[in-house]
Amino acid sequence: MFLRNESFKEFLRFYPIVSGLVALHLVLWILIDLLQLDFARALESWGVGVNALVLNGEYWRLVTPIFLHNGLGHAFFNSFSLVLFGPALERMLGKVKFSITYLFAGIIANLGAFLVNPDAFYVHLGASGAIFGIFGVYVYMVLKRKDLIDQANSQIIMVIFILGLVMTFRPGIHILGHLFGLVGGFAIAPIVLRNAGTYSLWQLRAKYSRTYDDDEIRFNPNRWQNKKRFGGGNGKNIFWGVIIFLVVIAIFGRYL
């Protein structure tokens, strides 16, 4: 589920939305922070989330903060999280539904911060609310659609969920964005997952240029028992890889 074995070209072809979002994060960081171009700085000022300006009618600020970040560390760790957790969901939902889910969760995160935070001059930016929306969809699968995800990956998701919540309540973290993003992803999950797992193998093969078995098409409960394709220790390797990743995030949590 979280193991990436594609080449760079295959990754771009199979996951165009995740690839495009990561590219946008990095391009904006280069223009705003590295090159410090005037028009890019103006773009950041125009797009950052500020409650008082949203209240004044600048409603686009409920959307634009999803794509902006505060420096390289912030952009890198959110992009890395997206690369790690986004591809499996983009594969399952398809480009349109994945894009809708990501934007919906990000907007709900920013809307929640606007409605609940009493500080009119509260400023925020970053993709973490939308990324927590991805976690929200996974949590919904664990709780409500066990046919779509195997036990090993369910355990990984719940570890991510628990540690993610713990790390959310740290100084400098966009707490409301994380919580409302998670709620947004969970809320939209039953809609976008309604037909998940019903696409034929031939339809999915037509969508991707290389051949996959049934175990790769959806989160098959038996996929990790396939010793031919996956070595016996790969499930554990992925689990500990995620744990190490979360430890890194915890250390550098101020960037999220």
* Predicted local confidence at residue 187, as pLDDT: 98
Please tell me whether residue 63 adopts helix, strand or coil conformation.
Answer: coil
**Residue 128 annotated as catalytic:** yes
pLDDT tens readout for residues 55-72: 999 999 999 999 999 999
What are the sequence ranges of the domains in the chain? 8-255
SS3 at position 195 = coil
DSSP-derived 3-state class of residue 252: coil
Q: Is 69 a catalytic residue?
A: no
pTM: 0.79
**Beta bridge partners of residue 50, listed in sequence order:** 123
DSSP 67: G
74, 128, 154, 174: the catalytic one is 128
Q: Which of 74, 124, 174, 178 is catalytic?
A: 178
Residues 6+ apart with CB under 8 A from 223: 150, 215, 216, 230
Containing 123, the helix (H) or strand (E) segment is strand 123-124
Fold of 8-255: Rhomboid-like fold (1.20.1540)
131-149 pLDDT, tens digit per residue, is 999 999 999 999 999 999 8
Structure confidence at residue 197 as a pLDDT band (50, 70, 90): low
Judged against a pLDDT cut of 60, whether residue 215 lies above it is answered with: no
